[in-house]
Amino acid sequence: MIKNIVIVGGGTAGWMTASALARHLPEACDITLVESEQIAKVGVGEATIPVIRQFNAALGIDEKEFMSRTNATFKLGIRFENWARKGDAYNHAFGFFGRPINDISFHHFWLSINQSEKDAWIHDFNVPSVASDLNRYAHRQYNDEQMGSRYFYAFQFDAHLYADYLSEWAQQKGVTRKEGIVNEVSTNPENGFITGLTLDNGEVISGDLFIDCSGFRGLLINQTLGIDFLDWSHWLPCNRAWAVSSAYPSRDAEIPPYTRAKALTAGWQWRIPLQNRTGDGNVFSNNFISEDEGLSQLLENIEGDAINEPRLLKFTTGKRDKLWHKNCVAIGLSGGFLEPLESTSIALIQGAIMLLLKHFPDNNFDPIREQEFNRRMTQKYEESRDFLILHYHATERDDTEFWNYCRTMSVPDEVKFRIELFKKTGFVSHNQSDLFIEHNWLAVLFGQRIIPENYDPRIERFASQEIKELLQVMKQETRDAVTAMPIHNETLKNYCAGDLISNFEQAKR
């Protein structure tokens, strides 16, 4: 039985890991987390995807309290602007398109209607997409039976406050926090396992299992154990981000229930609305524009006044060859980073924690557990990477060198296959365990203007008039469901944000 677990790093990854281990492992395990106030966290991970709710629920976190402590808003998806063509806009919303009939996905029915006879775009049958367009949000739990409740939600929150919140939670559950810089890492000369850490104050912390949550530097997995990084930047070339926070223009400004991703000349700009401010950032490649140009673009595209100094973050998209090696597991940025276009990082942290718990080692460290963990994590990273590549590659844009590169670059075979399959048949290939499943791929494939040539052959059993009538009903049901929703600000105020106004005043200061 593993007794002593040591986590290095107190960013989102470190505190999520500490909380989950404290919640799920036997009380006899000692969990120590080392962090240093002198080494800044990244802390810009503000947008999430719906799986985070399972993580919070498993900890038993009260959603209203968590939302008000982290200035969180509800997120129904991401609005992509200028991606396939300049002037385009579509939502990747967390919900289904229409309703399946006889086990046939709705979009096949929509595809079967002649282009000239279609009176609605596919996204008009997606409740969270239409709700996003109108800034509406109703706090409904998913219900497969009701058209108006076939959607999921996630959050947009202040990542620093989330780490603080979990830090408090984990320490209440018995996690020991140590403040200090890890200066030295010792290993067993016989088997290379990590044995302990020495802090700058001379304290030595020994352990059985070490979790590396030290961020991009990968203090244990890379600097100590020498595990290489697989660089994927030839497929995802963005490698810089300028991040800043900006104020809402007024107390009653509408807070959208979505993250905005607006494509620019050499990357894209995010706008993430929180209760009291927005988080903004320009993600770009410095092979195509300079850092100064990246900063100017960011400031030109923010809507309110900047309320702090813009911060430059440098990164390379990719992952470690192995996230688990000997008695060290890398979770968070130390294990890999996919640029934030689809808000996957926190979900990958969660995925790694859940897999580690499932394959939790004993002191024998049977390599089969390590192998399975690494195999599954590689799948998760690659599936998410492929989904991101789709956004860049399936574009018609030829107005800048960056977009020409993305449009014409060679992509992994799996991406080619998925695009080709959809184009030729209308079917989406995915596994149920993927982070992104059919409706996620459909939103982006259609949004990037890929329209299939064919549809499910079983549709031929339906008369075209019958299909048109079904579509009319579903379009109306979608509209009715959204019309009945309050605006997002209203839901927030009533649910979790007694402090919306004072938070706003504070952010202004």
Ligand X SMILES: Cc1cc2nc3c(=O)[nH]c(=O)nc-3n(C[C@H](O)[C@H](O)[C@H](O)COP(=O)(O)OP(=O)(O)OC[C@H]3O[C@@H](n4cnc5c(N)ncnc54)[C@H](O)[C@@H]3O)c2cc1C
Q: What is the DSSP string of 116-177?
A: GG--S-GGGG-HHHHHHHTTB-------TT-GGG-B--EEE--HHHHHHHHHHHHHHTTPEE
User: Contact, 67 vs 496, CB < 8 A?
Assistant: yes
Q: Which is nearer to ligand X, 212 or 370 (CB)?
A: 212
Phi-psi region of 422 (alpha: psi -120 to 50; beta: other; left: phi over 0): alpha
By CB under 6 A, is residue 35 in contact with ligand X? Answer: yes
Which residues in the 209-268 window bind ligand X by CB under 6 A? 213-215, 217, 219, 241, 243
Which residues 5-24 are close enough to bind ligand X by CB under 6 A? 8-14
Residue nearer to ligand X on the CB measure, 32 or 276: 32
Single residue of 345, 350, 384, 503 touching ligand X by CB under 6 A: 345
Q: Does 75 qualify as catalytic in the annotation? A: yes
Closer of 82 and 343 to ligand X (Cβ): 343
315 binds ligand X (CB under 6 A): yes
Q: Alpha helices of 311-455 — where are they, by DSSP H?
A: 345-358, 367-393, 401-408, 413-425, 438-447
Rounded to 5 degrees, φ, ψ at 295 are: -70, -45
421 binding ligand X? (CB under 6 A)? no
207 binds ligand X (CB under 6 A): no
Q: Which of 75, 319, 326, 380 is catalytic?
A: 75
- Residue 401 Cβ vs ligand X, minimum distance, rounded to whole Å: 22
**What CA–CA distance (Å, rounded) separates 268 from 258?**
16
Give the residues across from 243 on adjacent strands. 281, 311
Which C-beta is closer to ligand X: that of 34 or that of 500? 34
d(CA 94, CA 52): 13
CA-CA-CA-CA torsion sign (227, 373, 344, 17): negative
The set of residues, in sequence order, having a beta carbon less than 8 Å from that of 238 and lying 6+ positions away, is: 266, 267, 268, 283, 284, 285, 317, 339
| 320 binding ligand X? (CB under 6 A) | no
The CB-of-36 to ligand X minimum distance in angstroms stands at 4
Among the listed residues 347, 351, 318, the one whose alpha carbon sits nearest the alpha carbon of residue 335: 318
Q: Is 95 in the site for ligand X (CB under 6 A)?
A: no
Among 45, 237, 336, 452, binds ligand X (CB under 6 A): 45
What's the min distance (Å) between Cβ of 85 and ligand X? 25
Only one of the segments 339-347, 362-370, 371-379, 474-482 lies at the binding site for ligand X (rule: CB under 6 A); that segment is 339-347
Write down how long the chain is. Answer: 509
**Cβ-based neighbours of 260, under 8 Å, separated by 6 or more:** 78, 79, 81, 269, 270, 271, 272
Q: Pick one of 25, 39, 230, 467: the residue that binds ligand X (CB under 6 A).
A: 39
From candidates 18, 46, 70, 128, binder to ligand X by CB under 6 A: 46
Minimum gap (Å) between residue 342 Cβ and ligand X: 9
Phi, psi at 504, each rounded to 5°: -60, -45
Contact status: 135 vs ligand X (CB under 6 A): no
Taking the complex as a whole, the smallest distance from the CB of residue 332 to ligand X amounts, in Å, to 2
- Kindly list the residues in this chain that would bind ligand X in the complex (CB under 6 A): 8-14, 34-36, 39, 41-48, 159, 181-182, 213-215, 217, 219, 241, 243, 281, 313, 315, 332-334, 340, 343, 345-346
Catalytic residue list: 75
